[in-house]
Amino acid sequence: MPVKMIRLKSIEARRYTEPDKVPQPLRIDHNITVLNISPSKNKTSSVEFQYTANYGSVGMIRMEGNLVIEDREARKVAEMWRTSRKMPDRLATVIHNAIIHACLTEAVFIARDLNLPPPIPFPQIKIGKPPKEEGPEVA
């Protein structure tokens, strides 16, 4: 079930506080909401979504868009969504991963422009010997 296309249709980002007034530690919450799944032509469905990176009282980044998935059961999935607001787990995994990959990439650049921390943790590099672990000696 490949994702054929993903397109953002709106981006909203705000910074609420000055950069020197950021509380430590800062918690960044991510939320993905599937708004609608509708059948398209042939074996495809269109999925409308919203992604939000919430920086609490510091700021937020919100994106809306849609993606097109191709699956032999696309119409059945769209009907299931219309009636119960549920989708099969395998489809939910594909959709959420595609959204997070597309939106996190954009959110990193938007966060930089607003002087917000990136919404993903950067790897920490430590050079030198690791600290010696203290513990009981075993003979």
Lowest-pLDDT range, 32-41, 63-72, 129-138? 129-138
> Which domains occur in the chain, in start order?
3-113 (3.10.420)
Name the DSSP letter for residue 21: G
pLDDT at 1: 57
Query: Sheet of 3-15: strands edge to edge?
Result: 3-15, 59-70, 44-54, 29-39
For range 77-84, the mean pLDDT: 90
Rounded to the nearest integer, the mean pLDDT of the chain is: 87
In one-letter notation, the amino acid at residue 35 is: L
pLDDT at 64: 98
- The per-residue pLDDT for range 94-106, each reduced to its tens digit, is 899 999 999 999 9
CA distance 64 to 123: 28
